[in-house]
Structure 1
Amino acid sequence: MAEPSTATSSIVGKLLEENSWEKAKYYRNGGQGRENVLTAEVLVGLDFLPRNHFLGAVIRAAHGADAARQRLANEVEDLQMQFLPGDFIIGSDNRKTRLVVQPDAVLRRRARTR
């Protein structure tokens, strides 16, 4: 996957790019049906607040996949957030068994420097 350009690598940059694509006039009246505005506001706040206390608490309060959630919450300080990353393919390259999803955000562990 290609790395995003500097202009679109931030949450605000990605949101502006999407607004331009979808026409910003559709965000009037609360942007109903265009929930990326709300997603961006929440993710920006969680990205800037002390992660262990805020984003970690959100992850710990979720349900299901207990071991995976605990590991993610424990590593929350080392996560890099990518907003509106584009399409992800889950499964094989076979058209019948693959699933294409468009997540609002992806959390990845930052590469550790030695």
Structure 2
Amino acid sequence: MTEPGPLFAAGDPSDRQTGGMAGAVIAVVLLVLGSGATALFSLFVLPFAGDACGDSDTTLICTADGQRAVIVGPFLAAAVGTVVAACSLAARSPYRALGITLGYVISFGVFLIAWVVASQA
């Protein structure tokens, strides 16, 4: 049984088995573009879901905290997901793929939560 190599390595020929650096960079660039688009969508569209709220409504989107979560949450998640994915580019290929996937889950998972909160009105 062989011992695993170090976590960080440059120019590893086994890197091509699970995807190269170019594919990882493209995946991170697509994450930046996609999460930025969803964050802008959450800024300009989702807050208007609370327009139909009355004074006695207690759903989350009808409160100031719900409005704030719908606006700020996807922006913060896009930033954190992008940082996680970009930092994982320095890792070896299996860990790199895991980090990029985690970045996607963070970015788009919080956007889906904001979407659910906005659709409660």
TM-score, L = length of structure 1: 0.30
More strand, by proportion:
1
* Bigger relative contact order, structure 1 or 2 (CA pairs below 8 A, ≥6 apart): 2
- Higher relative helix content: 2
Larger radius of gyration: 2
